[in-house]
Amino acid sequence: MKSLEELREIRERMRAEIGLDKDRFNKTRVVVGMATCGLASGAKPVFDALSNMVNEKGLTNVSVVPTGCIGLCQYEPIVEVIEPGKDKVTYIKMTPEKVLEIVDQHLVRGNIVRKYTISEMVG
């Protein structure tokens, strides 16, 4: 790195790679708990299935991002869908098979799949 401009270019490239681009507040974020509890419960295949399906469907308005512990270890793997201007939706005990339904119904069609939400499964 030899200049301030080069540093700015690196910063912008890295922001885009980790989902901190300028449009992040206009995108739907799909957050997957990837702490030890999530990984032990199968979060990696869930994350991979989500990422693959979002790419296959060409959902450019959706970012799939990992996070640490969400704090509800007994319900892992957990997927949270955060859409601009809407309440967060928390899906629990996710599997790659359930991901197909979440992507098709919720992310593509806008219909929450209530049978997998924490409020339906626990409440």
Domain residue ranges in the chain: 23-121
pLDDT at position 3 over 90? no
Contacts of 83-91 with C-beta under 8 Å, sequence gap 24+, read 83/28, 84/25, 84/26, 84/27, 84/28, 89/117, 90/117, 90/118, 91/116, 91/117, 91/118
- Find out if CATH 3.40.30.10 is the number for domain 23-121: yes
pLDDT at position 1 over 70? no
Instruction: Report the predicted TM-score, pTM, of the whole model to 2 decimal places.
Output: 0.79
Kindly state the average pLDDT of the residues 108-114.
96
Kindly state the average pLDDT of the residues 18-27.
64
> Regarding predicted confidence, which is higher, 23 or 55?
55
Mind listing the pLDDT tens digit for each residue in 84-105? Answer: 989 999 999 999 999 999 999 9
> Regarding predicted confidence, which is higher, 40 or 7?
40
